Amino acid sequence: MIALAAVAIREGMAHDLGRMANIGPGFFPLMLGMILAVLGAAILFVRETVPEDLADTLAELRQALRPLLCICGGVAAFALLIGRVGLVPATMAVVVIGGFAWRDARPMPVLLLAIGLSAFAALVFRIGLGMPMPLLKGF
């Protein structure tokens, strides 16, 4: 069911995108859009073998909630912090937030890992490879 809905949404999007530009630069996208629409419809009707049923998928999704939130939150935190406070705090943030995606994560090991990894990142990327990013900013 979810598969079908997603395909339908994508199909709709593909149509819009295809017609956006005029003939020159729009022709190729339009062509692709139409192919995708046909494929989307085909997937709807043909129903290739999808082994798991809805209940299983939902159960997996419920389990996936914590990793999803932590991992994505961690990476997003890195994105928001790196420009403002520099590499070291941003690395700490991604490890601490992301680290709790592990079901049995405890604060101390995660914190230690965060310190270790941010030191490592600072050494390798800033000093070793000379990437232009400040380690610490605004303090």
Partner 1 sequence: MEIFSHLGIGIEAAFSFSALLNCLIGVTLGTFIGVLPGVGPLATIAILLPVTFSHEPTDALIMLAGIYYGAQYGGSTASILLNVPGTATSAVTCLDGYPMAQQGRAGVALFITTIASFFGSFVGVILVAGFAPLLAAFALQFSAAEYFSLMVLGLIAASLVGRGAPLRSVAMVVVGLLLGIVGIDVNTAEFRFTYGVMELADGIHLVIVATGMFGVAEIISSLVRPPERRVASRDITWRSLLPTREDMRRSWGPMLRGTSIGSLFGALPGTGSTIASFIAYATEVKIAKEPERFGRGAVEGVSAPESANNAAAQTAFIPTLTLGIPGDAVMAVMIGALMIHGIIPGPRLIVEQPSLFWGLIVSFMIGNVMLVILNLPLIGIWVRILSIPYSALFPSILVFICVGVYSIRNSAFDVLMVVIFGLVGYGLKILRFEPAPLLLGLVLGPMMEENFRRALLISRGSAWVFVERPISAAFLLSTVALIAWITIERIRGRKEREAEA
Binding mask 44-63 for partner 1 (x = CB under 8 A): --x-xxxx-----x--xx-x
125 vs 137: CA distance, rounded Å: 16
DSSP 21: S
User: What are residue 119's phi and psi, to 5 degrees?
Assistant: -65, -45
CB 26 within 8 A of CB 18: yes
By CB under 8 A, residue 36 contacts partner 1: yes
Task: State the CB neighbour count (10 A cutoff) for residue 97.
Answer: 21
Residues of this chain that interact with partner 1 (CB under 8 A) are 2-3, 6-7, 10, 14, 17, 20-21, 24-26, 28-29, 32-33, 35-36, 39-40, 42-43, 46, 48-51, 57, 60-61, 63-64, 66-68, 71-72, 74-76, 78-80, 82-83, 87, 90-91, 94-95, 98-99, 101-105, 109-110, 113-114, 117-118, 120-121, 125, 129, 131-133
